[in-house]
Amino acid sequence: MTLTSVQTFIIICMVTFGTVITRFLPFALFHNNKGNNSFITYFGKVLPYSAIGLLVVYCLKGVNFKSPANILPEAISIIGIILLHNWKGNALLSIGIGTAVYMFLVQTVF
């Protein structure tokens, strides 16, 4: 199905509008609370751990735990991520190097 120029323009406008609303709505709703909102503070403490848990489950959903050859690259990468994060404390560095280690293991070793 090919879209016309008008349809493409409308889609771009709707996506832009949705992005702007989701970016500015929290500031409009909580503009008077100078950081003292317990609801936002709670989510600020809980959501990062929830997001990491969700990512771990998503990344390991297709792993066959009955075959050691399938689980070894994931296990080595996860252990490396945990050790590197405990050592350096940088999430971006840990995820990046963990991904590189996993890709190296999958493409060359296993």
8 A C-beta contact, residue 97 and residue 103: no
pLDDT tens digits along 52-110: 888 888 888 888 888 777 788 888 999 999 999 899 988 889 889 999 999 999 899 87
pLDDT, tens only, 13-37: 999 999 999 999 888 877 776 667 7
The sign one gets for the Cα dihedral 74, 78, 79, 80 is: positive
Distance CA 81, CA 93 (A): 9
> How far is it, in rounded angstroms, from Cα 78 to Cα 84?
10
Question: Is pLDDT above 70 for 45?
Answer: yes
Prediction pTM value: 0.57
